[in-house]
Structure 1
Amino acid sequence: MSDLTSLTIAEARDKLLGKEFSALELTDAYLSAIDRANEAINAYVVVTHDRAREMARASDDRIAGGTAGALEGIPLGIKDLFATHGVHTQAASHVLDGFQPRYESTVTANLWHDGAVMLGKLNMDEFAMGSSNETSYYGPVKSPWRRKGSNLDLVPGGSSGGSAAAVAARLCAGATATDTGGSIRQPAAFTGTVGIKPTYGRCSRWGIVAFASSLDQAGPIARDVRDAAIMLKSMASVDDRDTTSVNRPVPDYEAAIGRSVKGLKIGVPKEYRVEGMPDEIETLWQNGIAWLRDAGAEIVDVSLPHTMYALPAYYIVAPAEASSNLARYDGVRYGLRVPGRDVIDMYEKTRAAGFGREVKRRILIGTYVLSAGYYDAYYLKAQKVRTLIKRDFEQVFASGVDALLTPATPSAAFGIADQDMASDPVKMYLNDIFTVTVNMAGLPGIAVPGGLSQEGTPLGLQLIGRPFDEETLFAAAHVVEQAAGRFEPTPWW
């Protein structure tokens, strides 16, 4: 790890503007780090060496000319779910084999407009379906973290596992990610990084491969809270091509860093104390409560009574939408095509060969709950539960609560190919138990490192906010970050 790759986005930004080094030198430092480490970690599926250097040279020209953007010269990794013009975009799936879009996602276009540099495309769970980054066609990502005295490879979380691992291992300054049920916050918690899922509609979904359209939302994974704020400012925008994006000004999120939380009312939902939760997660939670109280916040107990139904409702709504969204992958116009006797046979063979096991499982679940005779019993009922979950939050916020504090995950990271998880998909789905409610209600949520487990691996706290009040989350998360300290893995790669 070079001195340049150890800099945060904020630090690198200031030093680039001060001409202490060039954007090309910074980019080359990251490319060298990727070339050394990626074979071991498998965070990148494609590294765009030439394009990165070309973008870095252009950044140096703008810095010299006094026209630098907000992220000028900052090297970023891009989750393989975001369309990047002329560059591999396959959602880590075989069914999109060879796909290079002729267009750019709105989020990445915003980043390039602000001067960011693309290092490459990051590994992920196939079509964002997974909590461990083990469903990728390109193989699992290995976490940069390991347990004390152990060489066991740990998962980085999912689906944005490549994004979280690359940030934690200093293989990019920050990364784009997406969150449908916790896919930003859970991997951030597992890797000691910061990840924020903004309010639904804050970032455009245009040009992002769809999983569940009413739940998907883009956001950043970064090294600290300030960097996450800087990235979100550039990623967020209204977009005429995405009718769910919201036309309201994007605040200067970085200005919220260091803002006092004195007088804020922080809710602690009793329903998040789930059966079998490890003692160290409860201790972590109590530490977070104490840090915010010491900073002047008022801590209040609250109830979100429909939380217990969130996970089963989510695993009806999300697969249903996935079944619909993934129907377009048939081998006709792009991606994988497996020849067949006729067009129907070609469809069937292409989809059978192109989709992985977890994606097939969710398509089958989704198709089932949308089928005649089951739509009312499952999908319609799940949508009604979703409305009740949203109402729970609305009532809590209406009572004067400014944000909620919960654990981000029910445990620390587990091992790759963990047999308990592999043999029982429901156990894997339970990793989302603290995060899915936020997506179901369309709220913002941030994961921030809160400590280390007994085995020396990261544990994260989650703050949940009012719609479009990410600024309060950044202010409160910064308090937690300052109290907990920073956590970095010991390089083994």
Structure 2
Amino acid sequence: MSNITDLGIKAIRDGVRDGTFSAREVAEAFNANVAAGKELNAFLVETPEHALAAADAADKARAAGEELAPMAGVPVGMKDLFCTDGVEATAGSHILEGFTPQYESTVSANLWKAGAGMLGKLNMDQFAMGSSNETSAFGNVISPWRRNDGGNTDLAPGGSSGGSASAVSGRLCPAATGTDTGGSIRQPAAFVGISGIKPTYGRCSRWGVVAFASSLDQAGSMAHDVTDCAIMLQAMAGFDPKDATSLDLPVPDWENALSGDLKGKRVGIPKEYRIDGTPKEIDDLWEQGAEWLRDAGAEIVEISLPHTKYALPAYYIIAPAEASSNLARYDGVRYGQRELPDGAGLQDMYAATRAEGFGPEVKRRIMIGTYVLSAGFYDAYYTQAQKVRSLIARDFEQAWEHCDMILAPTAPSAAFGLGEKADDPLAMYLNDVFAVPASLAGLPAMSVPGGLDGQGLPLGLQIVGKALDEQSVLNAGLAIEQRAGFTARPDKWW
């Protein structure tokens, strides 16, 4: 079947179940695409044997007349932040190069239990710190998209889940895991014209996921469409006693409850998200998105999230503070890289290992975090940022009195060229301006493609929902998807 790699999770799952093709045919087709797609630099490790083994298990179960698992026959990409038993996990950093976990993250274990197979480990911004996938120690991930101006500038796939975004958009895999700390699923999904959802904080276990900012990190799914995101998230989620922040709640059947009918729902448009300098194309798409949701039966209301303007500065205090604590474990003693200069003592080894192993952006955030946690500045920065976080969460709680979900742009621009913002950290941080508030409040949020800009690049719309109400987020995403009719895909050049 020549176009098998154009299929998403649902089509592959259903095709394997009804015998249209075998799971092994699917795995072989995607393994071939992964091997042929090296120019995108999306995969750090390829595991074709893992995908084939899962496929053979699915085919054997079908031949025996057994009921197939929910994702049987579906191969996926795994962001390299997830520890995978016997397969190298680096978090995009030299300091973990060569680290091979002897255990499986809960999220990946859930996916294998659901029948999925692993095509490989996906490149990412180092320790998930970045918005363009330019901070990876193993080279930039390149978006499969090109501007329509005739040039061949390499574009950023977004970050930190840039490898996941590029691989799904480039048809190297039908879906991939991502993690979202301040927009790292939603922003890359918007940049490459796919869908991605960050669930409520605690829906997916963080056990076995390399930590960046523990009170913000949350795993989610990235796929071609809303239905596929729902299927994959359903397989990933669930209570885990090994994670103290895991929610002890049943996982809803999001796929079967999907509906694009929003009658009786109110959608909030936050006035504070109208930011000076936002491109007209972004604002126009936002207006169009509101019209699509109105057409789906929703009432559009204006709401206020007054502390939005403090979200980004609060995030860039809280996240680096938690990172400086989490990354203290990388010292060259037990695993990963070790630098031991001649005659060096223990402290010298720590310093040399971290100087060599951490990249510039990671060092920058560790230093910011250490500074804001230091004795003289803790109350002035960290304590204040936590108060702001509480106010932002309260803003959302008050907004829910007037609406059921919120519509906003996903990112303030389309994808930019690699290197165009690399020298300006503040400009890079602004990529997360629309995504960070939902992360600080721990709310479910999703990006779906809405259209193309004047240069032929994808633009995304974001839906934010109430805590634990992933269903409304997915339903609104489906309503947009049905009306946007987004079928654009990058022309193959790699």
Is the structural similarity TM-score above 0.5? yes
Tell whether the 8 Å contact from 2:260 to 2:296 is kept in structure 1 after alignment.
no
Q: 2:415 aligns with which of 413, 426, 431?
A: 413
Aligned length: 489
Q: Name the SS for the 2:447 alignment partner.
A: strand
How far apart are 1:150 and its partner, in Å? 2.0
Asked if the contact 2:153–2:417 (Cα under 8 Å) also holds between the matched residues in 1, the reply is yes
Counterpart residue type for residue 79 of structure 2: K
- CA positional deviation for 1:51: 2.2
Query: Is 1:329 matched up with 2:330?
Result: yes
1:356 to 349, 354, 359: 359
User: Residue 54 of structure 1 aligns to a residue in which SS?
Assistant: helix
Deviation at 1:257, TM superposition (A): 2.2
CA distance in 1, matches of 2:473, 2:240: 24
- Which residue is equivalent to 2:161? 160
* In the alignment, structure 1 residue 242 sits paired with structure 2 residue 240: no
Give the residue type in structure 1 aligned to 2:410: A
1:346 and 2:345 matched: no
Cα distance in 1, alignment partners of residues 276 and 440 from structure 2: 22
2:390 aligned residue: 387
Say whether residues 1:227 and 2:218 are aligned partners. no
The 2-side partners of 1:293 and 1:256 are apart by 20
| In structure 2, distance between residues paired with 1:405 and 1:255 | 23
Residue 400 of structure 1: how far off its partner (Å): 3.7
**Is the 2:303–2:402 contact (alpha carbons within 8 Å) kept by the matching residues of 1?**
no
Give the distance between the partners of 1:392 and 1:447, measured in 2 at CA.
21
Aligned to 1:466: 466
Q: Which amino acid is 2:484 matched to?
A: A
Any idea what SS the aligned residue of 1:352 has? helix
For the residues of structure 1 that align with 2:293 and 2:51, how far apart are their CA atoms?
Answer: 41
Q: Take 1:389 and 1:82, find their aligned partners in 2: how far apart are those partners?
A: 29
Counterpart secondary structure, 2:422: helix
After superposition, residues 69-468 of structure 1 pair within 5 angstroms as: 69-148=69-148, 149-340=150-341, 341-397=344-400, 399-418=401-420, 421-468=421-468
Corresponding position of 1:63: 62
8 Å contact from structure 2 (residues 311, 437) kept in 1: yes
Amino acid at match of 1:60: D
Amino acid at match of 1:163: S
CA contact 1:47–1:119 (8 Å) conserved in 2:
yes
CA deviations over 1:432-460 (Å, ceiling 9, x no partner): 00000011000000000011010000000
Contact 1:210–1:325 (CA under 8 A) maintained in structure 2: yes
Q: Is the 8 A contact 2:75 2:117 kept in 1?
A: yes
Q: Which amino acid aligns with 1:257?
A: L
TM-aligned CA deviation for residue 488 of structure 1: 1.2
Corresponding residue SS for 2:334? coil
Q: Distance in 1 between matches of 2:31 and 2:281?
A: 37
SS of 1:253's equivalent?
Answer: coil
Paired with 1:166 and 1:5, the residues of 2 have a C-alpha distance of 12
Alignment of 1:8-19 (within 5 A): 8-19=8-19
Amino acid at match of 1:157: G
**Paired residue secondary structure (2:120):** strand
| Residue 429 of structure 1, CA deviation | 0.1
8 A contact 1:63–1:72 mirrored in 2: no
Query: 1:256 Cα shift?
Result: 2.9
Deviation at 1:217, TM superposition (A): 0.2
Matching residue's letter, 2:4: L
In structure 1, C-alpha distance between the alignment counterparts of 2:214 and 2:404, rounded to whole Å:
27
Separation (CA, whole Å) in 1 of partners of 2:47 and 2:13: 22
Instruction: Answer whether contact 2:80 2:89 (CA < 8 A) is retained.
Output: yes
Which stretch of the first structure deviates more once superposed, 475-484 or 210-219? 475-484
In structure 1, C-alpha distance between the alignment counterparts of 2:111 and 2:345, rounded to whole Å = 44
User: Would the aligned equivalents of 2:142 and 2:156 in 1 still touch at CA under 8 Å?
Assistant: yes
Equivalent position of 2:45 in the other structure: 46
* 1:144-203 deviation line (CA, Å, top 9, x unaligned): 111002211100000000001100001011000000000000000000000000000010
> Is the 8 Å Cα contact of residues 268 and 402 (structure 2) preserved in structure 1?
no
- Which range moved further: 254-263 or 401-410? 254-263
Shift in Å, 1:34: 1.0
Q: What's the offset of the Cα at 1:294?
A: 1.2
- The separation in 2 between residues aligned to 1:161 and 1:389, in whole angstroms, is 28
Distance in 2 separating the partners of 1:241 and 1:64? 36
SS class of match (1:404)? strand
Task: Tell me, in whole angstroms, the C-alpha distance in 2 between the residues paired with 1:423 and 1:255.
Answer: 46
- How big is each residue's C-alpha offset from its partner over 1:399-430, in whole Å with a ceiling of 9 and x where there is no partner? 14100000000000000111xx1221000000
After superposing the two structures, state which structure 1 stretch, 316-325 or 246-255, moved more. 246-255
Name the SS for the 2:173 alignment partner: coil
Residue-by-residue CA offset, 1:103-143 (whole Å, 9 max, x unaligned): 00000000000100100000000000000000001101000
Q: Is the 8 A contact 1:47 1:120 kept in 2?
A: yes
After TM superposition, the runs of 4+ consecutive aligned structure 1 residues lying more than 2 A away are 256-259
- Structure 1 segments unaligned to the other structure (5+ residues): none
Opposite residue 266 of structure 1, the aligned amino acid is V
Q: Which runs of 5+ in 2 are unaligned?
A: none
Range with greater deviation from structure 2 (367-376 or 56-65): 56-65
- 1:2 Cα deviation from its structure 2 partner: 3.9
Counterpart-to-counterpart distance in 1, 2:290 and 2:301: 10
Give the secondary structure class of the aligned counterpart of 2:37: helix
Q: Distance in 1 between matches of 2:446 and 2:439?
A: 12
In the alignment, the residues of structure 2 paired with residue 286 and residue 333 of structure 1 have an alpha-carbon distance, to the nearest angstrom, of: 53
Residue type of the partner of 2:58? S
Q: Give CA-to-partner distance per residue, 1:360-414, whole Å, 9 cap, x none.
A: 00000000000011000000000000000000000011x1410000000000000
Q: How far apart are the structure 2 equivalents of 1:17 and 1:51? A: 20
Which moved further from structure 2: 427-436 or 243-252? 243-252
Residue type at the aligned position of 1:62: A
Distance 2:17 2:345 in 1: 60
Once the 2 structures are TM-superposed, how far is the Cα of residue 259 of structure 1 from its aligned partner?
4.3
One-letter identity of the residue aligned with 1:206: W
Does the Cα contact within 8 Å between 1:256 and 1:474 map onto a contact in 2?
no
TM-superposed deviation, 1:70: 0.1
TM-score, reference length from structure 1:
0.98
Q: Specify the SS of the correspondent of 1:256.
A: coil
In the TM superposition, what whole-angstrom CA distance separates every residue of 1:57-82 from its partner, at most 9, and x where no partner exists? 12211222213100001000000000
